[in-house]
Homo-oligomer: A and B are copies of this chain.
Amino acid sequence: MSDAAVQHETETGPCLSERETQLLETTLELLYETGYDKLTVDEVVARARASKATVYRRWPSKADLVVAAFAHGVRQIATVPDTGSLRGDLLHLGNVLLDHGRCNGAAIGGVMAEVKRSPKLRAVFEREFLDARRELVHSVLRRAVDRGEITPDVISDEIWDLLPAYVIFRSLSPSRPPTEKTIVTLVDDVLLPSLTRTLR
């Protein structure tokens, strides 16, 4: 029986064999070091003491491999703990995104560019990355509703991702990486006024 068959899908998301996990982590390591297009499959393979066939059996191209690795990295981000207030939760969330953006700043631009070209990659990316982000944001907002800090109707389906989007964009930005001050400003001057505004 093959390695893969040992897997047991106990929850949502793919369940990876050990070899797959190891390959993805090696890939992620290199992705963070060198960015998307300086990363080479040969180097991944050399570091993991693996064979190209072993990689290409699972992921049909470099793009698939890298997107899978990226998703694997994202999947490990924890939930946001309840700090007791909306402001605290948002600041915490912002700082988590900040940390994550710091390590993959060089990578995500290339990854997203790659993702735009393939519906298959798009599906993976959407499921693993966007949905995870959305869940983070919505859990924070739900808690705020429960606390009575905001009303449900200020939560927009259109721009729920403003906070992560801006942090990621700034992480991409070559000359203005985001700082803690960026988070504070964004939360205090933009998000809170927006979420607590009096609706027309």
Contacts and interface: CB of A to CB of B under 8 A. Distances in A.
Interface of A: 35-38, 105-117, 121-122, 125-126, 130, 154, 156, 158-159, 162, 165-166, 168-170, 172-176, 181-182, 185-186, 189-191, 193-194, 197
Contact of A166 (B114, B117, B169, B197): B169
Contacts of A165: 165-166, 169-170
A109 B116 CA distance: 10
B185 A190 contact: no
Given A35-B117, A189-B159, A109 B112 contact: yes
A158 B185 CA distance: 7
26 contacts: A35-B114, A35-B116, A36-B37, A36-B110, A36-B113, A37-B113, A37-B114, A38-B117, A106-B113, A107-B113, A108-B113, A109-B109, A110-B110, A112-B172, A113-B113, A122-B175, A130-B175, A154-B189, A158-B182, A159-B182, A159-B186, A159-B189, A162-B190, A189-B197, A190-B194, A193-B197
Given A159-B186, A175-B126, A109 B105 contact: no
